[in-house]
Chains A and B, each alone.
Chain A
């Protein structure tokens, strides 16, 4: 069981408010991702839940019990750190056993769980090695193994994939998602990478400057970003944001249109521009189009086979149903 509730939680270091009063409910079994640019307070928020930092005010409730003043060791949560934080002087087996040793589990049970975790994580052959002899991906698995065996109320992940290379990252992303499907335990995951957030989360919490910008499922955030910040942060490549005449004629201060919601054509369309850089990914092509009278280029996704080159004239047609409209305060207009 692992429902976590934050009630009016704040955190300040000296005069600096890192977390502004914040309410959040994490349901049991949910995969929640905290995402935001660096310095937005997402890691601090995770450490508050872990108990590695004190809240300045507010309450943290875990499974219905007030855990605000409970030390980290007693919260029943497991954490996977960015640096993995394996114990370098212990073998993989001892690393995984450590939380159970601290809990005073009997040896037979410890071994049973270690074997099970090792089998699930492909670590069986490495149990007697030290962390220093493992690759990055294997270390990551050991860290996860150490978290699993505790059978915690919830897992906390602090940017666990940021030290892995791109190929491994995709693989581990899948493994963690699978793990969640299998264990059905609450997971709270911090990342600055919106792709990780979109692919893994049941619920995304977008943070900026210590405040929650929006909470919702990945598709909610994609379809209906609540404000300009979320609009610009979720989605890759980023949403095009336009002001001026284009916005005004649609009754907004700013309008946003995603690159994938613009049709490109060599001869017809309401917006005429010149192709700047074009990125050919094979399946897709991204054109950075310069439109007369606008400083910012517009990014457009087109089919991989579209053949337009630097300096060619291009016509763009936005999908009117998928234009996001924002008011002067940056909030979404209904």
Chain B
């Protein structure tokens, strides 16, 4: 409902954002796709001949690729399990009556605001370090050998660190969803004879289902791109033990300067992310009444 003049103005006012984002999306995408068909290494000057699918062949047959895919799935899956289950429990706890709820909430949310490089380094050095870390001290004080987390369980350690960062996100969103549940509904269910577990199973959980899905999808998008935590803790090692797809592509492109190979990996990463994105967009789109 508007006039031609305001529609024209609207188009003009929208265009800078649209054009910039279009450029930001199309140009690099096209270049990535283009590079992925070239033999293109920054260390080897000369022409960059077209090599068809050679880069893809290399990328997919590289033993590191399989490890990276498995690691990516483990990383995403592991963090999702910890944060979603933990988030539901924490949200239920924080929804209870207690003293100092505001402060508790603030303390629980805090890790989300810690920059990834800080949290990774603090955990790596001050907690997981086998000599000076707090965990080593705790282990020794009960008579156990200190455990070198990042050397012997690198992926699990990274899952732990990332979970600590994302648990607040899941908790916050699930708590918001929980608090929007009409308490009269619960009281009605109680009048109908539903015990605490029945109420959780048949009232609370279905009410939170949508928020849980949103948490899973959004976290997945971000977790597929975990990078800084790996870079500063393990550099993807030992060997490839903690290399995910993002880190693998980074290493191929900016450490080995193999632009073609890195681009082929990039195309694969985009396709993978898009699969998740489609589901997320559907959920968000359903909620949009534009």
User: Which A residues have a C-beta under 8 Å from some C-beta of B?
Assistant: 13, 51-54, 71
Contacts and interface: CB of A to CB of B under 8 A. Distances in A.
Which of B1, B2, B3, B4 has the most chain A CB atoms inside 10 A of its CB? B3
B5 A53 contact: no
Contacts of A71: 3, 5
The 7 closest A-B pairs by CB, nearest first: A54-B3, A54-B4, A71-B5, A53-B3, A53-B1, A52-B3, A51-B3
A72 to B, nearest CB: 8
A194 B1 CA distance: 27
Interface in B1-48: 1-5
B13 to A, nearest CB: 16
Contacts of B1: 13, 53
Nearest to A47: B1
A54 B2 CA distance: 7
A51 B4 CA distance: 11
Contacts of A51: 3
Contacts of A13: 1
Given A52-B2, A53-B2, 9 more contacts: A13-B1, A51-B3, A52-B3, A53-B1, A53-B3, A54-B3, A54-B4, A71-B3, A71-B5
Nearest to A55: B3
Contacts of B4: 54
A52 B1 CA distance: 8
Nearest to B7: A54
Contacts of A52: 2-3
A53 B5 CA distance: 10
Interface of B is mostly: loop
Contacts, number: 11
B54 to A, nearest CB: 53
A32 B282 CA distance: 50
A54 B3 CA distance: 5
A111 to B, nearest CB: 33
11 contacts: A13-B1, A51-B3, A52-B2, A52-B3, A53-B1, A53-B2, A53-B3, A54-B3, A54-B4, A71-B3, A71-B5
Contacts of B3: 51-54, 71
Nearest to A52: B3
Nearest to B4: A54
Contacts of A54: 3-4
Interface string B170-202: 000000000000000000000000000000000
Nearest to A54: B3
Interface string B226-237: 000000000000
A52 B3 CA distance: 6
Contacts of A53: 1-3
Nearest to A70: B5
A54 B4 CA distance: 7
A13 B2 CA distance: 10
A71 to B, nearest CB: 6
Nearest to B3: A54
A16 to B, nearest CB: 12
Nearest to A53: B3
A53 B7 CA distance: 11
Contacts of B2: 52-53
Nearest to A72: B3
A11 to B, nearest CB: 11
B195 to A, nearest CB: 45
A285 to B, nearest CB: 45
A333 to B, nearest CB: 41
A249 B119 CA distance: 95
A71 B2 CA distance: 11
Nearest to B1: A53
A326 to B, nearest CB: 37
A305 B25 CA distance: 82
A176 to B, nearest CB: 26
A52 B5 CA distance: 10
A54 B7 CA distance: 11
A8 to B, nearest CB: 19
A19 to B, nearest CB: 14
B1 to A, nearest CB: 7
A51 to B, nearest CB: 7
A97 B19 CA distance: 39
A69 to B, nearest CB: 8
A53 B3 CA distance: 5
A127 B1 CA distance: 34
A71 B5 CA distance: 8
A71 B9 CA distance: 12
A110 B252 CA distance: 70
B89 to A, nearest CB: 41
A62 to B, nearest CB: 16
A9 to B, nearest CB: 14
Nearest to A13: B1
A18 to B, nearest CB: 11
A309 B78 CA distance: 80
A116 B18 CA distance: 49
A54 B1 CA distance: 9
A71 B8 CA distance: 13
A51 B2 CA distance: 9
Nearest to A44: B1
B27 to A, nearest CB: 36
Which of A51, A54, A71 has the most chain B CB atoms inside 10 A of its CB? A54
